[in-house]
Chains A and B, each alone.
Chain A
Amino acid sequence: MSALPLLLAELASGAVEIVDLTHTLSPDFPRITLPSETVPSAPFRIEEISHYDARGPAWYWNNFSCGEHTGTHFDAPAHWISGRNQPDNTVDTIPPARFVGPAAVIDCVAASDADADFLLTVDHVLAFEAEHGRIAPGSWVLMHTGWARRALDPVAFQNFAADGQHTPGPDPRCVAFLVEERDILGFGTETIGTDAGQASYLNPPYPAHYTLHGANRYGLQCLANLDKLPPTGAVLVAAPLKIRRGSGSPLRVLAFVPRA
């Protein structure tokens, strides 16, 4: 028997709640900032086509533009050079079943508040498992840093100093462990990248990007509302736009959360 009628019943009764993990796309949301010698990703921009006026008397609509990696967004394996030869490595070819998976939410809020350069390690993951059980294969592992609280303050969210960005992320061994030992579906963060702000100085540089995508796994960034998720038990639906050979896309990330 299908579980869908039960799901619908639980959604109707509130036993399962849908939590939106998505920030609003707007020009005010900070864009990813890479070293100035590289070509920048276009920020989100929106201009009116018409607004019930001479440009279109009965209709309101806009043109918008942005890079694929804007706002709350999905990283496909082809985004990184390590994932370039993986099969089905772009947003249009990823099997849709991979857009749904359970979520393990690791609480790093206190550590990130204490140290903006906090790195999630294997030991942190093992400590999480000791409390909440082993991370299931095919899980999204979400690093809950509390960074989304800073989204209304672009300076605090980006947290730049003269030596670049200072935001938390995973350390190289941690990503390798999650991919090789736990067979995760992907890794998600509240910050602007799956990697830490200073990750260009890790080995390999940008280990989350390098290792996840090299193993055909996915990334989610700029997630919101992770504080509304349980450590385990939620199910994520994260389906990017179907852009031909797209390396990623902004998307709406929904979490199905059981309420006891």
Chain B
Amino acid sequence: MSAPRRNPVLAPNRATIPPARRSRVATEMSAWAAAGVFALQTCGECEAVQYPPRDVCRNCLSPRLRWRPADGAGALLATTRLHYPYELYFRERAPWRTGIVRLAAGVSVTAFLHPDLGEAPAPAFVTARLDRAGQAALIALPDETANFEVTPMREFTASPKGRKILVTDAASPAGIAMVKAMCAAGAATVWAGRAEPWGVVPGYEEAIAHPAVTVLPLDVTDGDSVTSLAGRIGGRTDIVVNTATYHRPGRALGAMGVESARAEMETTYFGLLRLARAFGPALAARAAEGPNHAVAFVNLFSITALVASPAKATHSAAEAAAYAFAQGMRADMRASGLRVVNVFPGPVDEGWNQLDLPPKIAPDALARATVKALETGVEDVFPDPVARQWYARWRDDPAAFARELAEAGA
């Protein structure tokens, strides 16, 4: 089933986004939602849960409010249907059902209502999802497993289903897994980028045999290659999944020369830069074109983008550079409602990480986690136990965690 084609003589449908302004403290709710967590503030003095986000406790006026994952279970108290919203984004998609849910945690929240959720009173489950402005929106569901592939819930996803997806390096272990996972998730087309096509890569031929897959030449270290491909498919691409990376074990002082580190930077950082500049504008221009509009740019990073691993000092530096650039991308792409999804795995179970101790995430699991992140609209993905543990400690105290890693020498 293909989406209807747009009438080329009519004005294009420009992307609008929901109101993006939040208070500084409310932005934290979005940061948690970006990682897939519904979080609320809890008072450090009296344990009262807070909503909406605030600077002092609603109960005891203490400023010691901490964000914590919240229990979404509650009861739907009231519903309404908004037919004529003022904001363009909501107006274009009206009507919107909204309601008030009383959470078991003791606060009442305003939430969008899933179409499968009936009228009040009813049990409901509240989750926090990123809207197209990249801000947290609360959504009341009939249960945790509610289907988001329905109107208007799909707005809160970047689902691969029905979309045309570029996997930039399809011949790496993660790239092979990503091609297969995107096909399995119902992608309409998977363009499999291939650099230096002469090497024989186990598993690659099987992955590209899927009828949705077309192999195209792409070497992210070559500006001409990137712009040529953008000229060919940039105006049709809905999701870019950047799997192109180059990494070699290299401590800060142990290895010789700079060329291996330069190659890491050339692929991991400059490659991303080239892709973003070649594909970003066309993605933004098509961010509201039909139901399967352009929606996301996915970066396959490493947890070492957040905090450096001394055993992989040069790789960490390239990852950190790319991650810093991705923050700029996110700011620029937000205006058109595009998501920049950053995936931060721990060690991936592939050849160049042979000497890393387990647990290591399998490429297939990494790809499935990426698909799930797109389907649930998550922007910061920590797909395995190592990544989650590092992320939690980094989030808690980055300076202390960096020292801990340096002393461990890992």
A→B interface (CB under 8 Å)? 27, 30-31, 33, 39-40, 42-43, 45-48, 154-155, 157-162
* B225 contacts partner chain A, Cβ-Cβ < 8 Å: yes
B400 CB, min distance to chain A CBs, angstroms: 35
* Chain B residues engaging chain A, CB cutoff 8 angstroms: 196-200, 219, 221-225, 257, 259-260, 262-263
Which one of B200, B225, B257, B262 contacts A27 once the chains associate, using CB atoms below 8 Å?
Answer: B225
Task: Give the distance to chain A from B85, nearest Cβ to Cβ, in Å.
Answer: 41
Is the pair A42, B196 in contact by a Cβ cutoff of 8 Å? Answer: no
| Interface contact A159-B198, CB-CB below 8 Å | yes
A30-B260 contact given A45-B223, A46-B224, A47-B223, CB 8 Å threshold: no
Cβ contact of A158, chosen from B198, B219, B225, cutoff 8 A: B198
- When the two chains form their complex, are residues B198 and A45 in contact, meaning their CB atoms are under 8 A apart? no
Instruction: Tell whether A27 pairs with B197 under 8 Å between CB atoms, given A39-B260, A40-B263.
Output: no
Some 10 contacts from A to B, beta carbons below 8 A apart, are A30-B196, A33-B199, A39-B257, A39-B263, A43-B222, A45-B222, A158-B198, A160-B199, A160-B200, A162-B200
Alpha-carbon distance A43/B223, docked complex (angstroms): 12
Given contacts A45-B222, A47-B223, 19 further A-B contacts (CB under 8 A): A27-B222, A27-B225, A30-B196, A30-B198, A33-B196, A39-B257, A39-B260, A42-B259, A42-B263, A43-B221, A48-B223, A154-B196, A154-B197, A154-B198, A159-B198, A160-B199, A160-B200, A161-B200, A162-B200
Q: Is the interface of B mostly helix, strand, loop or mixed?
A: loop
Question: Smallest CB-CB separation from A160: which chain B residue?
Answer: B198
| Minimal Cβ-Cβ distance residue in A for B259 | A39
User: Which single residue of chain B is at the shortest CB-CB distance from A162?
Assistant: B200
List of A residues within 8 angstroms of B224 by Cβ: 27, 46
Question: A residues within 8 A CB of B223?
Answer: 45-48
In the assembled complex, the Cα of A192 lies from the Cα of B263 at a distance in Å of 21
Closest 8 CB pairs of A and B: A158-B198, A27-B222, A162-B200, A160-B198, A155-B198, A39-B260, A47-B223, A39-B259
Question: How far apart are the CA atoms of A155 and B197 in the complex, in Å?
Answer: 6
B177 to chain A, nearest CB (A): 20
A157→B260 CA distance, assembly (Å): 25
- The verdict on A45 contacting B221 (CB below 8 Å), with A154-B196, A158-B198, A160-B200 known, is yes
Look across to chain A and name the residue whose beta carbon is closest to the beta carbon of B201. Answer: A162
B198 & A33 in contact (Cβ 8 Å cutoff) = yes
Q: Is the CB of A27 within 8 A of B219?
A: yes
What is the CA–CA distance of A42 and B264 in the complex, to the nearest angstrom?
12
Given A40-B263, A43-B221, A45-B223: A31 and B196 interface contact (C-beta under 8 Å): yes
A188 to chain B, nearest CB (A): 22
CB closest chain-A residue, reference B222: A27
Bound Cα distance from A43 to B263, whole angstroms = 10
Report chain A residues within 8 Å CB of B221.
Answer: 43, 45
> Which A residue's beta carbon lies closest to that of B258?
A39
Which residues from A are CB-within-8-Å of B222?
A: 27, 43, 45
Cα(A30)–Cα(B225), bound, Å: 13
Q: Which residues of A contact B219 (CB under 8 A)?
A: 27
Q: Which of B219, B222, B257, B260 has most A Cβ within 10 Å?
A: B222
In the complex, what's the smallest C-beta–C-beta distance from A46 to chain B, in angstroms?
7
Q: A41: nearest residue on chain B (CB-CB)?
A: B259
Can you name the residue of chain A whose Cβ is closest to the Cβ of B351? A36
CA distance A71 to B259 in the complex (A): 19
Q: Complex: how many Å from CA A154 to CA B225?
A: 14
Residue of chain A at shortest CB distance from B261:
A39
**Whose C-beta in chain A lies nearest to the C-beta of B262?**
A42
Distance between A163 CB and nearest chain B CB, rounded to angstroms? 9
Chain A residues with Cβ below 8 Å from B225 are 27
